[in-house]
Every structure is written in structure tokens, then in C-alpha cells.
Copies of this chain bind each other. A is one copy, B any other.
Amino acid sequence: MNKIEEAEAVLGNLATAVNMLQGCPEFALLIPEVRVNLVYALPGARTPQEVAAVEGRITAVQGLPHASGMPAWGASDHLARRIIEVRKYDPTINAGINFKYDRTVMEIAQSYCSERGWLFGWTDRTREPDEVAELDGSSMPWKVKQLVDSSGGVPRLFYEGAGWGKEPLFVALGSRATEVAEIAIEIARRYREKTG
């Protein structure tokens, strides 16, 4: 594949993942206040412009997951930078999705990981560097290092605990957008069963 084909394959996998999520009503239960980001990075991406994401994020309309816009380059900042940083530890990771954190999600995510022998992790936002670090971009390396160190490697599922001004969130990581969408869908189905 040349560079253009590579980029289109990324965008197409992201569109496929969005169609999967939109076709899963249970996923509406996992949409957090900040809405859902779904991102997929080009091989070797160094900036958010080389990471594809859903414009306007994924929200819920009439009880169903609904993408606000098209998959597009540069449509995510924070989750995009996280993927770029995670890859320094595990170059097989290209995609990520965030979703709601609560105790039920946590129980499901932990079982899901132990069934598969996957690492499960969390990041402790109370120990985050200060706001200045956030603004100059140096906090992401710190956060990802802390996650990897405390989890014994790059975990496929982890949560970021609540922080000052920050909603707690779950994140699933994987090699492709469809892969992380599948994880989120399976967790959503179990969530539906548990919560009725």
C-alpha cells in the first residue's frame, strides 16, 4: 500500500467501526458526558493531524449512538496524542475509544480482561503534573509512563480516575478502530444485561 492507500484504509476502518457502534443500541448506555472519541492513527503518526477521528464525536440521539460528523484527520486532540504516546511503548497500538466509567463498567472490564489474559490498568489523575504541564503538552508522556509502569505494560483496557475538572473515563486500545469498537460493544452488551 502506498501512503494514500494507507490513509484511506485507516479512514475506512474508522467508518466501519462507526457503523458497528451506530448499530448497537446498548452502546448508548456507555456514552459519557464528554461524548465518545474514536481514533485511529496512521503508522508513524506524530501529530493529531495524522490521526483520524469522528468529527463532533459520537453522541446519543433518540436513544441510539450517532456520529455527529464524518471520520476526518485531526478531529481529535487529546485521545490522538495519547495514542501517539502509547505507541512508544507498544507499536501495535493504533486505535482507541473512550467510554463511560462507573463501578459496573469497571467490574465488566476487569472480567473481560482476565478472560483474555489482558493487562488491565488505570491512571491516577490525582498525581498528574500541574496545569502548566498540561498546556505545554508535557503531561501526556508523564501520564502514559505512569499507566504503563503501574500496569506492567500497555493495558488493552484502563480507566482514568476522576481528576480535578475531569470526568473519569474508560479507554480501550487496539490495533484497529474496529477492534476497539468490538471491545466497547461487548462491554455495552454485558452492561445492558447487568443493569436491566
A131-173: contact bitstring with B at CB < 8 Å (1 yes, 0 no)?
Answer: 0000000000000000000000000000000111111100000
Inter-chain CA distance A1–B13, complex, in Å, is 14
Complex partner residue of A56 from B16, B61, B163, B165, CB under 8 angstroms: B61
Residues of B within 8 A of A182 (CB): none
Inter-chain CA distance A23–B70, complex, in Å, is 12
Query: Shortest distance in angstroms between A187's beta carbon and chain B's nearest beta carbon?
Result: 20
* A22 to chain B: closest residue by CB: B62
Interface size class of A (residues with CB under 8 A): 35 or more
Inter-chain CA distance A164–B95, complex, in Å, is 28
Q: Does A55 sit within 8 A of B, measured CB to CB? A: yes
A49-75: contact bitstring with B at CB < 8 Å (1 yes, 0 no)?
Answer: 000000111011110101111111000
CB–CB A59/B57 < 8 A: yes
Tell whether A5 pairs with B16 under 8 Å between CB atoms, given A60-B56, A69-B61: no
CB–CB B72/A68 < 8 A: no
CB–CB B56/A19 < 8 A: no
Q: Which of A13, A68, A166 has the most CB of B within 10 A?
A: A68
Query: Shortest distance in angstroms between A148's beta carbon and chain B's nearest beta carbon?
Result: 23
A1-16: contact bitstring with B at CB < 8 Å (1 yes, 0 no)?
Answer: 1000101111111111
A12-B15, A61-B69 are known contacts; what are 4 more A-B pairs with Cβ within 8 Å? A18-B70, A19-B70, A162-B164, A163-B164
Write 10 A-B pairs (CB below 8 A) sorted by A numbering: A7-B12, A8-B13, A9-B12, A11-B16, A15-B70, A23-B62, A34-B35, A62-B69, A68-B68, A165-B167
Chain A residues near B (Cβ < 8 Å): 1, 5, 7-16, 18-19, 22-23, 33-35, 55-57, 59-62, 64, 66-72, 162-168
